[in-house]
Structure 1
Amino acid sequence: MSARPRAAVAPAEPFWQRIPSIALYPGRGAALMTLIALSLAGLLRVIPFIGGIVGILVWLAAYKYAFEILRRTADGYMDPPEVEVSIDDGVVWRFIALQLILIAVLLICVGLGGPKLGLLALVVVAFLQPGMTMMLAMTGSLSSALNPAQSLSLVARVGFPYFAVFGLLLVIQASALMAGAWIARVMPLLGPVVLMFALFWAMFSAFHLMGYLLYQSHEALGFEPEALRDDAHPLPGAPGGDALLAQVEPLVRDGKTDEALALLRSEVRTRSVTTDVHEVYRRLLKQAGDPAAVLEHARQFLHQLMQERQDRRALGLLRESLDADPAFVPLDSTHAERLAEQARLGGQSQLALDAYQALLRTYPADPNAPQWGLHAAMLLVDRFGRDADAKVLLEQARARATDPAMQQKLEAALKAVGPVAG
């Protein structure tokens, strides 16, 4: 995760006391600029041939920015995020995949059971969709977001505020549609722009609201907002902060990125630096377009996060790194094993599976490899229904296992998986 601008940390007051500011959120700063730009870009849809592609890109950009709003708000920052043109964020793509999967589910229900089943599915999806979106923002795992049990667990832990937010989301979206349609009739020439403006305004307000519910309920959900972590540490350049960033900031501001990188690289490699320095160094490496250096630094940064017991932050870094390279493993295999176990127990099944598989590829002869194989196989069976792949892992683990107790566990797991068709 790239370093974010510092902002005042908002108190977690009940969301219903912030309804006016939530409704007006899209009219502030970068959100308003994004709103206007996307609405005007929507006019390009009328251009022959490329209009359809432009329309898709506009909605992708809108969903990306809306999801960034949700994540930034959930982290405790009440100001809109800065505009980012790229759409290469793995979590954002998983969010878009989530929307497409839910649409596919609705179409399948209509096809199989007609309008009645389709209406029932629509009600269920509409109720669970905010929970799924918030689960994805917390865990970064598409499988966790798609698991109804995870979303229902979130609803149970949040309680009444979830139902209130669900109702308010419906009101926001319905109001935007009605307002846009009315203005389109009154001003037909500006109708398409006004309608897009109203839809995107509603989208940004809704995602800000969902993010605020996460922030308000973070203790019940076991989620630590970034702003609260930042609040526990001195700011860069402030008394007690890291003076190194005070040297780097003017270089970056003047466009001397190479000099800033060289300075940071020297410091990061030769002495212990703060996590703030690591974050800035990581961001500059990404901007420089050097994926190999980003991954190399990620191992060092993750090692420091684990030593400082910032496991939640390390999980996010591990997810980013595995998205970039499925073979990525931390410097210390025990750190990788600990993070994989935390992800497995915390419901981040995809992250746990990816971490175990990376460990198995890198350290196939490790004494703990049979245990990793067992955990990965059970995730494949229980979470993803991939029995054939699970059986391969179990057989490999059995061939490596020397401990009788582990051999018995693997034999039992193989029997439970049973013969695999095909």
Structure 2
Amino acid sequence: MTASNQPARADAIVPFWNRLREISLYPTHSAALSTVVVLALCHLVDFLPLGVIGWLFQLLIWVALYKYAFECLRASADGRLEPPEVAVSVEDSLGWSQIWLQVAFFAFNMLGFILLGPVGGTFVAILLALALPGAIMSLAMDQNLGHALNPATWIAIVARIGWPYVAVAALYFVFGVSQRYAQALVVPILPPVISTIAFYLITNYVVVATFHLMGYLIWQYQDEVGYEPSAAAMPLASRARDPDQDLLDEAAQHVRDGAPEAAAELLGGQLRARGGSDAVHVQYRKVLGVLGHRDELLRHGREWIAVLLAQDKERRAVDVVRDCQEMDPAFEPTDPDDVARIARKAVDAGQSQVALKLVSSWYKSHPRHRDVPANCLLAAKLLAERMGKEDTARALLDRVMQAFPQHALAGEVGAYRRFLDTLGAPPARA
């Protein structure tokens, strides 16, 4: 990304330790507070005799909370210091992944005490407490549970950020202790219904605040962790007046007047006739989403991706691809030659799942394309190294070697295929 597109220089960002008051008050903003309160009230289902259905409903409430918390984390990582209204860019699967992440960490903790005794178990518990924020940050950036559970991921994040990460991990622990202390202090003196609401209000508040803290850490150390903030999420104060601001204001007025169709026609007409700024494209997609125009969203996505790549805005193109994949997992850009470029950028930006989906659907449509060896080699490395699917990676590379024996990358593909064989080979005898 060029300097003109960079949302903010990392050295110009206020350090998180100078914003602890603002971070702790983050959930009091109206957008976050309404979510915190509504989800706390939903837990009153505990008082209904629903049995297993009630337990499942409780689980869905937790998923909704984590989904919104990840939305806050991503917004913070992109430099937006106001909570989002709703969770629109985060998949439901990310909320479920956080549940499984916590289950896995709890299991690791218990195994530490069972296998190593009280002293060793305590040591493992401290290490896991230090690692948990890194695992959550990895899950938010990469959307890969296996990668987030890999100790090498935690070590890499700690090594890149250094002592500020340790400080955030300590704050994460302090938030958790404060939560339990507040609950122990307030809940016993309240009637059952009120105490339930109070318990979950405190819990939800702490979850949103800590996820904002972790997102802000990514924002502050974006270069160290290799995260490129989305320009679409830049704070308004950091942007100059948009050249199409009058058009945007007119479209916004149509929406406020209850006429999103008129806004879509206005913005779409501008894009079809003369093009427009990134803000026009973003607003057009938002209006189309409100109208539920899925096919037009996909069509526009293909057109905008081509424009973004022509402007060397590859990271934004990755974001558009991900948005379109949520509507159509088999989504492909118009030009098959663009896939290699987008996939590489997706990996660089920590969007492995986007790269894998893109290459998979593209490979099915273009099995003889000249970029097949390069794209499939990239996919094989992601499958083997980030998802632990060595067998799938081997099968993919076997097909590539058979179809492209004379390709310039045939040697590199074969070398990586042999490397995968060594991973599954039994250890040699002395």
1:322-361 aligned at under 5 Å gives the runs 322-345=325-348, 348-361=351-364
Describe the shift of the 1:181–1:9 C-alpha distance in structure 2 as closer, same or farther (beyond 3 A).
Answer: farther
2:409 match: secondary structure: helix
- CA deviations on 1:317-347 (whole Å, 9 max, x unpaired) are 2223234333222122332211212334555
- Please state whether the residue corresponding to 2:19 is helix, strand or coil: helix
Partner of residue 247, structure 1: 250
Partner residue, 2:137: 134
Distance 2:226 2:236 in 1: 17
Paired with 2:407 and 2:18, the residues of 1 have a C-alpha distance of 60
Confirm or deny: 8 A CA contact 2:129 2:173 kept in the other structure: no
User: Is 1:287 paired with 2:290?
Assistant: yes
The aligned counterpart of 1:262 is: 265
Using the size of structure 2 for normalisation, the TM-score is: 0.84
C-alpha spacing 1:294/1:121, structure 2 compared with 1 (3 Å): farther
Letter in 1 for 2:365: T
Q: Which residue pairs with 1:28 in the alignment? A: 29
Report the CA distance shift for 1:83/1:396 in structure 2 as closer, same or farther (over 3 A): closer
User: Which amino acid in structure 2 is aligned with residue 72 of structure 1?
Assistant: A
Deviation at 1:96, TM superposition (A): 3.0
Partners of 1:136 and 1:251 lie apart in 2 by 38
Query: Is residue 370–residue 400 contact of structure 1 (8 Å, CA) maintained in 2?
Result: no
- Mapping of residues 6-405 of structure 1, within 5 Å: 12-49=13-50, 50-84=53-87, 89-90=90-91, 93-104=93-104, 106-107=106-107, 110=110, 114=114, 116=117, 121-189=124-192, 190-225=194-229, 226=231, 228=234, 233-236=239-242, 240-345=243-348, 348-401=351-404, 403=406, 405=408
Identity of aligned residues (%): 33
Moved more, 107-116 or 71-80: 107-116
Aligned residue number for residue 3 of structure 1: none
Specify whether residues 175 and 338 from structure 1 end up closer, same or farther in structure 2 by C-alpha distance, changes over 3 A only. same
- Aligned partners of 1:37 and 1:325: how far apart in 2? 31
410-419 or 269-278, which deviates more: 410-419
| Counterpart Cα distance in 2 of 1:26 and 1:404 | 55
- Bigger shift: residues 189-198 or 276-285: 189-198
* Structure 2: gaps of 5 or more residues: 1-7, 426-430
- Measured in 2, the distance between the counterparts of 1:28 and 1:223 equals 26
Partner AA of 2:57 in structure 1: V
Following superposition, the deviation at residue 166 of structure 1 comes to 0.9
Give the letter aligned to residue 327 of structure 1. Answer: A
Cα distance in 2, alignment partners of residues 388 and 70 from structure 1: 34
Distance, in Å, in 1 between the alignment partners of 2:419 and 2:165 is: 39
Q: Give structure 1 stretches of 5+ with no counterpart.
A: 1-7
Contact kept in structure 2, 1:22 and 1:209, CA below 8 Å: yes
Cα distance in structure 2, aligned partners of 1:12 and 1:360: 41
Per-residue CA deviation, residues 67-125 of structure 1 (Å, 9 max, x unaligned), is 222222222222222145x7x832x5225314314413533674697264765554333
| C-alpha distance in 1 between matches for 2:153 and 2:108 | 22
Deviation at 1:404, TM superposition (A): 5.5
CA gap of 1:202–1:345, structure 2 versus 1, over 3 A, is closer
SS in 2 for 1:280: helix
Secondary structure at the aligned position of 1:365 is classed as coil
Residues 54 and 99 of structure 1, relative CA distance in 2, 3 Å threshold? closer
Distance 1:161 1:267 in 2: 46
**Structure 1 residue 208 displacement after superposition:** 1.8
What is the number of equivalent residue pairs in this alignment?
408
Q: CA RMSD in A?
A: 3.1
